[in-house]
Amino acid sequence: MLRPDANDPTVRVVGGISHAPGVGVSAFLPSAKQLLDLYRDMLSAYGAQQWWPADSAFEVAVGAILTQNTNWTNVERAIDRLRAANALTLSAILGMPPQRLAELIRPSGYYNIKAQRLRSLCEFLDRAGGLDALKAGPLDDARRALLSIKGIGPETADDILLYAMDLPVFVIDSYTRRLLARLGLAGGDESYEALRGGFERALPADVALFKQYHALIVEHAKVVCRKTPLCGSCCLQAACARI
């Protein structure tokens, strides 16, 4: 199959990036082989990842809000406080004063803002009939509905869709951007939707694959492909444009 720009002589394709004269990166166009080779190399190096850690789909959705602008250790502390207060249900969160909710999630940081966002999510889910009812409809409708909630952007919405609702949406985060740029598969100025679309076009719509792939990227970025990378111990050396 020809890429969309393959018949345009003014456009050159390098790696998975489509370039046009005088402009930045216009598309992220990796092949299935490129992405699956990366996946298999990381899976061989790190093994299967158990992610997202949670006892329920609703807990995943809560965690997707709490993890904004913080690390997972702080999220776990906030989740533990909610669990100890028997507040990890939609009805419990809607039934408590906002100040109480904010105090319980204080370890996650920005707790007043996140308390408002959690309440907004819970009010939406209450009107929609819950996560299962949302999942029963078209995926695109569910995504648009989540994105309409104040404080929920593409990454948070896709975390909920993939990990809480088991729908085939590929999550893009800062680790993904870093890895793609260092491998020479992306230029760094692509939109979220361009990167998500590149993965979803190239890979089969497999929820288990998407979950594992994203989790492996996170693990690789934390262990090796850090802000200051440990290139000497990287399992992707053969494919990396940085080395």
pLDDT of residue 240: 87
The per-residue pLDDT for range 213-239, each reduced to its tens digit, is: 999 999 999 999 999 999 999 999 988
Q: Rounded mean pLDDT of the chain?
A: 90
> Which amino acid, residue 112?
N
Whole-angstrom distance, CA of residue 17 vs CA of residue 203: 17
**pLDDT at residue number 169:** 98
Q: Distance between CA 22 and CA 11 in Å, rounded?
A: 11
What is the torsional sign of CA 73, 74, 79, 80? positive
Contacts of 88 (CB under 8 A, 6+ apart): 55, 56, 58, 59, 62, 79, 82
pLDDT of residue 26: 52
Please report the pLDDT score of residue 94 as a whole number.
98
Query: What's residue 16's pLDDT?
Result: 52
The answer to whether the beta carbons of residues 158 and 172 sit under 8 Å apart is yes
Helix spans in 129-173 (H): 131-136, 139-147, 154-159
Of the CA atoms within 13 Å of residue 170, those in its CB half-sphere come to: 25
Task: Find the helix packing angle between 72-84 and 57-66, rounded to 10°.
Answer: 130
CA pair distance 129, 36, nearest whole angstrom: 37
Secondary structure percentages of the chain, helix, strand, coil, to 5: 60, 5, 35
HSE of 192, CA atoms in CB hemisphere, 13 A: 12
Question: Which residues are bridge partners to 25 per DSSP?
Answer: 19
CB 97 within 8 A of CB 91: no
Q: What is the pLDDT of residue 8?
A: 35
pLDDT for 6 equals: 32
Whole-model pTM: value is: 0.89
Q: Are 142 and 165 in contact (CB under 8 A)?
A: yes
pLDDT of residue 134: 97
Beta bridge partners, 12, equal 19
Exposure class string for 123-136: b at 16+ Cβ within 10 A, else e: ebbeeeeebeebee
Task: Write out residues in the chain with pLDDT < 50, as ranges.
Answer: 1-14, 17-25
pLDDT of residue 226: 96
Q: CA 209 to CA 95: how far, in whole Å?
A: 37
